[in-house]
Structure 1
Amino acid sequence: MTDTREATTTLLAERPNAESALRSILAADEHGTWTFDDVDVDSGLFGEIVAADIVEKRDGGYRVSDPAAVRAALDGERAATPSTSKSTSRSVTMPSLSNVSVDRTAALALAGALVFLALVRLISISAVFREGAIVLSANDPYFYRYLVETVAAETNGPFDIGAVASLPHRVTAGEPLLVVTLWFWTELLGGGANASGIVLSVYPVVTAVLTGALVYLTTLRLSDDRRVALAAVLALALIPAYAYRTSLGFADHHAFDYFWLALTAVALVSLAAEPSRRDAKTAFWSALFGVAVAGQTLAWEAGPLLILPLGLVVVGWATTTVQAGKSPARELGGLIGGLALAAILTAGAHFALGWHGTTVAFAPAGLFVGSVAVVGVTELALRQGWSARMLLGGEVVASVVVFGALPFVIPQMGAELQSGVQFLFETEGIAETQSLVSADQGSLVGPLLSFGLFVLLGLPYAGWALLRSSREYEPGWLAMGIYTWYFLALALVQLRFAGELAVFLAVFAGLGFVHLAAKIDAMRMPKPFAEVESGRRGREAMGETVGLERPERREAMSLLGLGLFAGSFSFVQVPVKTGQLLVPDGLYDAAMWMREYSEEKGLEYPENYVFSEWSWNRAYNYLVNGNSDSYGFAFNNYREFLGSRDGEEWYRRLRDRVGFIVTEDGPAIAGDGRGGESLHSRLHSQYGGGDGSIPGIGHYKALYSSTDGSRKVFGLAPGAVLVGRGDGGSQTVQTEANVGNESITYERSVQPTENGWYAVRVPYAGEYLLAGQRYQVSEEAVQSGGFTPEKGSRAVWSFNEGRGEFVFDSQGGYHGSVSGVTWAEGFDGYALEFDGSGSVSVPDAEELSGEGGLTVSAWIRTDEGVDYRNGLQYPRLVSNSENGAYEGTEGYQLALWRGRVMVALGDGSEASATVLSTEHVDDGEWHHLAAVRDGSEVRLYIDGEEVRRGGIETGLPSRKHLRIGASVNDERRFKGAINQVEIRGEAANPEEVAQLSGQGGN
């Protein structure tokens, strides 16, 4: 024995690659005499082994001279010395950890592969950790950072278990397990934004390494070949779709899902390796399988999609047990037990913690019930002697019937299934919802961009796995093949599932790589194919696991070349894909500027909400205001805003919702090209200014511009309105303004109205020249939105402008802004036509509050097609009071009440209000209405005749704003025409009222 061991040790020292050959020989020797063709050993090396008397010829073949000595040399152990004396008693010894053999070479190789996997994900480190800040990649990670910080702000440390049961609905209905896991580690590191930043930036890399280790174990259990397992990890490291989704800083839910999928895979393959065993090891894998299934269900609201292939695995596995003559109940017992545990865990989390809705929470329970049914049917089929083909056909038909009937039996499930189908097939506008082979992904080139050459290397072997398992009882290969093709189908629907596919594709890419290497004589055949060539299958065919071996120089060069070729696409695509996720420097700089500006101005959310392209909206808002809950508003509105030409309408929609607007260089908007009069062009290219051909806009003030001008930030402002009058044509107003560190010229072209008025709204403070008059506009005027002239105590609006966005007061300077109305033929000249969607707003109208007396008059005409008595019952004509009961008027209102003229005055208290009404005027004719307050008396006139009189005991409060055609808060809008509105801060006498109604205007 000593000579054989020494010879073996010497050979190993000289030829390190002899280890796997010797183990192969030992495996063959366990079955008796063997020949050279029965082992996969190089002929030259075999000659050295024979020459060293490690093997000897015997009975027409070969046998190992001393198997125990060879094993001792291989394992580095002391050879056992056989006892020469018999013992009358048998001693029992406990197993020792010192007897556990660890393949140090394999362990170091695995560690190196995992380090390589991690390093590939760290190429973004300088972009994530910058200037003392932690900047996550892409958009969605800021949603999870916001959730984690929100939960952490309301909890007391990582062991505040009560908080886990009272999470926001946004968390419990989405990714509760992921958020709780990230929250736990954040709290463990002390909580706060810095801790959450560290946890969320590092977590994808950590889970990627753990997933890589699980892929190694899965592949090793399947192939029994360490070379294949190591190649699978390296393939996983380089698959672009997996690499960028697990890169440093890309903290969305996918990296978490991959870990649970990989854990499910290793547990499933381990259960399939020795399914009929009933021991502690099987119990362990069954329990781990249950935990993994529960984990991936609780991790994501679409978790049922990730466990659905298990149903296919159960059907396939149970069917092949019948084909192999094995008991389905015994073979699938561990899997069924794991599903039972998963059902208990997910249902328990639902009832105890409120996690997920019933459909998601009970998905594992449904899978468990279905699996039990399948196993029961196949067990019956085995005992009745049914064919596997007939059984499979019956199972398919039964599945179609069950799934078809479920929506009718359980309507809620039907609704959620329909929602799931819409999620898969009808979601648009997001890159990851596109198909793997969509035009935007490069059609047929898409798989190469997402998987590199590994897709070509792995998919044929995934097909081989299904073919092999259809002929031989190989449930592990069957399961991994089903998972691979299932996720390929999902990826062809939505690209988001490419990462899930990568976890399983890597297993087959590793097998394909080693097999291809063997074909070019760079290494020995991988064990699954060596078994085929030797005519034996299964674990008993080749014995021990195939280990690593040091290649010869030629083999090493061949392997290196093959590896570089296999990873060629990935070496380009991984940096490109990862780089596309990083927050651009320009975005970060703009966000930091907005943050500083917001802090300087004391803005709070939503005053500092950032309105931007939805794909970066969460990043912008987290960096600026810390609220990155949703990009829904930007998704639904931003593109429409950029392509619109109506800056006034968008100002009204955004002013109470948006603090900053970001514009960028970029692709054209569909239907508009971002050219001409689009808001994008007028803002991004001209800072809101315009010329004779392109009108400017006055509510958008440029605040910041990047150095290269590719990114600009605007704020919303009421804008000051410059007003002038003259006889000339078009005029130009301009001023110099500072935008960040840049000085710009803001320029507007102004057209006069038909009655000679000029008005232009400007968002920048500065000096302007209009109609021969200079105006000094202050920042206060810009923020108040007022008009520049001094105010008087009388206002007259003739509405003869004929066009534009303003109406002008020819007496007191109370000019107004027009919204949602049109000019039409009036009683005398033009009138304003109201359709129930607009009004005229007059700011800074305190002098028209009627404290010292009041006259309000207007010509109105109702529309014949409007029912003012039962439909439009209470429209306001002229009002400085908010909408409410007439008896609660605070100020004054000239209005209609079921088609009658109504005037209401008061200080807001019902007891002191004065309300007068008279006959109907809803006849489609022009009528002159006037309300006069003269001391303690109120008179109401129609067409110059007094029709009602009443008293008033209270004074009228000073009111800042006034509206024509609606209440002051823009409600109770009028339908019809209004002409010649006049308000005086004094009471008109009956003769003056008659004069107003008789002349029809002023």
Structure 2
Amino acid sequence: MADPYAETRALLEERPDIEPALESILAVDESAPWSFDDIDVDSGTFGELVSRGIVEKAPSDETNQTYRVSEPEAVKAALTGEAYDATPSSAADTRIIQLRERITQFKTRRNPDLIAGLAVSFVLLFVARITGISRVFRDERVLLPGNDPYYYLYWVERLVDSSPNPLDFEAILEVLGGGFGEPLVPTIGWWATLLFGGNGTNAIEIVAWIPVIASLAVGGGVYLLAVWTTNDERIGILSVVVFAFLPGHVLYSGIGFFDHHALDYVWLTLSIAGVLWLARDHERQHPNGQLDHLTSLKTWLVVAALGVVFAIMVHSWNGSPILLVGLAVYSTLRATSDLRAGWNPLVAATPVVGSLGIGFLLAYALHARAGWQEPVVVYTLALVAVGIVVVAGTATVFRRFDIHPGIHLVTSAVSIVPLWVGFETIRPAAAARLLDRTSGALLGREGIAETRSLFAADFGVIIGPVDHFGWFLFVALPVLGVITWQCVRTHEPRWLVLISYGITLIGFGVLQVRFAGEATSVVAVFSGVGIAHLLSVIELADRPVLFGNREDRKRLDLSLPGGSWQQAGYVVVVIVLLSSLSIFMIPAVTDTLAATDAEADAIDWIDTDASEREGPDYVLSEWGQNRMFNYAVNGDSRSYGYAQSNYESFAQSPNPDSYADQFSDRVGYVVLHELSVDLPPESAYVRLYEEHGSATAATDGSGRFQLSYVTTDGGPAVFRPVNGATITGNATPDSTVTVRTETEVDGLEDPFTYERRTTTDANGTFSIPVAHSGDYEIEGEGLPSDTDSISVSAAMVQNGTRVATA
């Protein structure tokens, strides 16, 4: 540690003219830690005082970089020429003193209004994410919303049952069947189940809460993004409130929606926050001390943490490479902006490349040793790191030769071609797979509703944004435009991070609306800025400072100027008005995924019936709900492939009974939902769902699918494939024979009339398969006089017995 007394004496001998500067600094230092702008000292002299240890950085005040004289008494003694004998304290004493100083500063900085604002905003966030709790946690059953959560739950329960070592990643992958594209998601679900003492029967209750916890973590990240960018607590709180009311995030992270999305949002937000912290720390360094950014321990701790986040991101989703595109865009724009501002582009790029390198090494180690994730997803981290080195290195060369920054942008865009060619040459299979994965993630899954554009013309252009952002995207986009233009004009490293990710992620949403959730954390910040500006325009708040020097923290003051309750009410009204659409949309989007009461009733009935009946218990349903039905009935929610291949063709088939033999020994139940499209009367859907399998003027009904349970209010109807009893007999040739019975079906208040009809052949013979037991009336020309009814038992229906009328 430097001796301030000796260093001051030495400096005074070398530069006697520095004495006034030291005296002025000591005068400022008496009150509190100060910033460079508070003193009248040139940057060169200040840099020398810092390098000699006479002046040091004060403990961090969150965003304000402040300084202090390291030992004021020693410097004063050196100025007066007096002797100074300081008894060095032990390292432990020094740490205690520093800790006391930090505690004192924390007490000074603590803002009760900020704590209250954070508490309210996070309560709103929590409540918004548990809107559908009553639809998930029912009396005797937990029903997760959507389809995919059951897939991850299936593997969580396999891990619970197999119980490998929690840190034996190879054994975990073996349980997952190998080649699992998102191994960390079920592993986290399993770890959470172990942590909270769960087991195979209640794991579903534990994993249902993971999306909510993840949302709270993202909310914390949103606050940091806003405050680290603007240094304004008001914008931080507004951003969290906006985030709480973004329907697009609720859609994929509400209670029960346990899949990779909710966790991806965490890793993405943390990665943006890490990159932003690095940009902010670099920007805040004194112009002559920017290299301190690279020698700071805090910088490399953030780099290490960011590397861990990148590694986690890779193993959470096999589509994670697209989440690195925003980082690539930022690094390119940052190198160009540094070049224009006269900064060394390698200083900003080095920590980012370091974090990607750490992330690649960690991800590759897990891939190589345990088989996690496919190689191409892991290699993407290294590929992006190489790209950043190229663009930053090119900017550094251009800076030396004073080449225009615009040329650097063009060169960076063109450099993608040789980089890709090189990767394709070295790793052709990985390059092909990366191209396939990227195009599949951004353009694939055609025909699914979530693949439409955010601004799809079919939905009136604005419906998509309203569905996912309420009014807030329309608040954020103008702010994004203004800030982007400011970054074009001036050097704003912090804003460059958010606009790079914002433009990229919103752009992905334009391609496919399912990526709108990824953009929510950044959109929330831009919306928070927009609302703060709006409040300042109507004179309800001070105007936020978005550019230039933002070292002075803008505190949240809930009392408002003058302490007016009327003003406070106006602020609340503005926020409620802007949130109004979201307040209505959140329950709506929650309902689109949650199981309805009718579906829950159908599940309960099928589960009870299957436990009492021998035979297959697979439930054939619309593929988007197939995992839910099968998890509840037979516990197998691994795949919906069979339903996706067969359900639609069956529902549209003009001959549904032909499918009964195909379903034999596989399908125990068929669940038909109400459709919004018109199908012909001979289709299976109309025959079964609308006519309950009974004959109409257009069709002769169905004799192989037995209506077993009917829900109310347009809910699903449940059918069982049966062999069907066949009623046979003789009547007038080429005449019509009709059989009918009154049968009771669970869910129907009154018995319904089940009717079947056929035409006799040239010999007068007829045979009519029937799917229900009961006493059948028989009508037709030329029937024997004693043939007017016949009894069919349940066993006959089940066994396919032929029952003769005479």
**Same fold, judged at TM 0.5 (above):** yes
1:330 maps to what in 2? Answer: 347
SS for the counterpart of 2:324 is: helix
For 1:733 and 1:232, the matched residues in 2 are separated by: 68
Amino acid at match of 1:281: K
Query: Could you list the per-position Cα deviations for residues 117-157 of structure 1 after superposition, in whole angstroms to 9, with x for gaps in the alignment?
Result: 11111222222221032221222212221121122211157
For 2:110 and 2:531, the matched residues in 1 are separated by: 22
Query: Could you list the per-position Cα deviations for residues 490-543 of structure 1 after superposition, in whole angstroms to 9, with x for gaps in the alignment?
Result: 1011111111111111111111111221121111111225xxxxxxx235xx54
State yes or no: 1:312 paired with 2:329: yes
Contact 1:609 1:658 in 2 (8 A): yes
When the two chains are superposed, the root-mean-square deviation of aligned CA atoms in Å is: 2.9
For 1:447 and 1:26, the matched residues in 2 are separated by: 46
Deviation (angstroms), 1:87? 6.9
SS for the counterpart of 1:739 is: coil
Larger deviation: 161-170 or 251-260? 161-170
State yes or no: 1:780 paired with 2:776: no
State yes or no: 1:496 paired with 2:514: yes
SS for the counterpart of 2:84 is: coil
For 1:362 and 1:426, the matched residues in 2 are separated by: 22
State yes or no: 1:756 paired with 2:752: no
SS for the counterpart of 2:462 is: helix
1:354 maps to what in 2? Answer: 371
Match among 107, 131, 134 for residue 142 of structure 2: 134
Query: What percent of counterpart residues are identical?
Result: 29
Task: Name the structure where strand makes up a greater proportion of residues.
Answer: 1
Deviation (angstroms), 1:709? 6.0
1:109 maps to what in 2? Answer: 117
Query: Could you list the per-position Cα deviations for residues 205-250 of structure 1 after superposition, in whole angstroms to 9, with x for gaps in the alignment?
Result: 1011111111111211111111111111111111111123221112
Contact 1:27 1:543 in 2 (8 A): no
SS for the counterpart of 1:753 is: coil
SS for the counterpart of 1:746 is: strand
Task: Output aligned runs, 1:558-707, within 5 Å.
Answer: 558-603=570-615, 607-668=616-677, 673-691=678-696, 693-707=698-712
Give ranges in structure 1 of 5+ residues lacking alignment.
1-22, 34-70, 72-79, 530-536, 791-812, 814-1002
Match among 451, 461, 478 for residue 469 of structure 2: 451
2:22 maps to what in 1? Answer: none
Distance 1:263 1:496, change over 3 A: same
Deviation (angstroms), 1:348? 1.2
Task: Output aligned runs, 1:396-411, within 5 Å.
Answer: 396-403=413-420, 406-407=423-424, 410-411=427-428
Distance 1:112 1:769, change over 3 A: closer
Deviation (angstroms), 1:602? 4.0
Amino acid at match of 1:684: Y
Distance 1:682 1:568, change over 3 A: same
2:53 maps to what in 1? Answer: none
Deviation (angstroms), 1:159? 5.3
Deviation (angstroms), 1:161? 5.2
Contact 1:158 1:188 in 2 (8 A): no
Deviation (angstroms), 1:426? 4.2
Distance 1:741 1:374, change over 3 A: closer
Amino acid at match of 1:570: S
Deviation (angstroms), 1:411? 3.6
1:474 maps to what in 2? Answer: 492
Q: TM-score, normalised by structure 2?
A: 0.83
Q: Which has the higher contact order (CA 8 A, sep 6+)?
A: 2
SS for the counterpart of 1:345 is: helix
Match among 391, 406, 410 for residue 389 of structure 1: 406
For 2:771 and 2:578, the matched residues in 1 are separated by: 59
Distance 1:709 1:287, change over 3 A: closer
Deviation (angstroms), 1:618? 1.4
Larger deviation: 467-476 or 397-406? 397-406
SS for the counterpart of 2:546 is: helix
For 2:201 and 2:559, the matched residues in 1 are separated by: 46
Amino acid at match of 1:244: L
Task: Output aligned runs, 1:31-42, within 5 Å.
Answer: none
Distance 1:272 1:416, change over 3 A: closer
Query: Could you list the per-position Cα deviations for residues 325-360 of structure 1 after superposition, in whole angstroms to 9, with x for gaps in the alignment?
Result: 122222222111101001111111211221111111
Task: Output aligned runs, 1:882-921, within 5 Å.
Answer: none
Contact 2:692 2:707 in 1 (8 A): yes
For 1:483 and 1:248, the matched residues in 2 are separated by: 27
Larger deviation: 592-601 or 198-207? 198-207
For 1:616 and 1:760, the matched residues in 2 are separated by: 34
Deviation (angstroms), 1:180? 0.8
Contact 2:144 2:150 in 1 (8 A): yes
1:736 maps to what in 2? Answer: 742
For 1:612 and 1:191, the matched residues in 2 are separated by: 30
For 1:373 and 1:167, the matched residues in 2 are separated by: 41
For 1:766 and 1:496, the matched residues in 2 are separated by: 51
For 2:804 and 2:167, the matched residues in 1 are separated by: 65
For 2:333 and 2:393, the matched residues in 1 are separated by: 14
For 1:386 and 1:526, the matched residues in 2 are separated by: 36
Amino acid at match of 1:373: V
Query: Could you list the per-position Cα deviations for residues 614-667 of structure 1 after superposition, in whole angstroms to 9, with x for gaps in the alignment?
Result: 221111111121111122222232222112111232223322331111122231
For 1:389 and 1:439, the matched residues in 2 are separated by: 35
Deviation (angstroms), 1:744? 2.2
SS for the counterpart of 1:647 is: coil
Deviation (angstroms), 1:546? 4.3
Query: Could you list the per-position Cα deviations for residues 787-821 of structure 1 after superposition, in whole angstroms to 9, with x for gaps in the alignment?
Result: 2359xxxxxxxxxxxxxxxxxxxxxx9xxxxxxxx
Distance 1:653 1:440, change over 3 A: farther
Contact 1:134 1:194 in 2 (8 A): no
Query: Could you list the per-position Cα deviations for residues 898-922 of structure 1 after superposition, in whole angstroms to 9, with x for gaps in the alignment?
Result: xxxxxxxxxxxxxxxxxxxxxxxxx
Query: Could you list the per-position Cα deviations for residues 589-614 of structure 1 after superposition, in whole angstroms to 9, with x for gaps in the alignment?
Result: 000100000001145xxx11111112
Match among 534, 538, 544 for residue 549 of structure 2: 538
SS for the counterpart of 2:187 is: helix
Q: TM-score, normalised by structure 1?
A: 0.67
Match among 527, 530, 537 for residue 512 of structure 1: 530
2:228 maps to what in 1? Answer: 221
Contact 1:293 1:307 in 2 (8 A): no
Deviation (angstroms), 1:441? 4.0
For 1:764 and 1:380, the matched residues in 2 are separated by: 83
For 1:547 and 1:157, the matched residues in 2 are separated by: 48
Deviation (angstroms), 1:738? 2.2
Match among 301, 314, 318 for residue 284 of structure 1: 301
Contact 1:165 1:352 in 2 (8 A): no
Deviation (angstroms), 1:463? 2.4
SS for the counterpart of 2:772 is: coil
Give ranges in structure 2 of 5+ residues lacking alignment.
1-30, 42-60, 62-69, 283-289
For 2:248 and 2:668, the matched residues in 1 are separated by: 36
Distance 1:759 1:409, change over 3 A: same
Deviation (angstroms), 1:186? 1.1
For 1:241 and 1:306, the matched residues in 2 are separated by: 17
Match among 235, 251, 258 for residue 251 of structure 1: 258
Contact 1:407 1:415 in 2 (8 A): no
Distance 1:626 1:290, change over 3 A: same
For 1:383 and 1:576, the matched residues in 2 are separated by: 57
Amino acid at match of 2:691: Q
Amino acid at match of 1:449: D
For 2:119 and 2:403, the matched residues in 1 are separated by: 49
Deviation (angstroms), 1:455? 0.7
Query: Could you list the per-position Cα deviations for residues 673-723 of structure 1 after superposition, in whole angstroms to 9, with x for gaps in the alignment?
Result: 234111111111222121453122211011111244632100011112121
Query: Could you list the per-position Cα deviations for residues 433-470 of structure 1 after superposition, in whole angstroms to 9, with x for gaps in the alignment?
Result: 11112245442332123111211211222223332233
Distance 1:116 1:284, change over 3 A: same
2:9 maps to what in 1? Answer: none
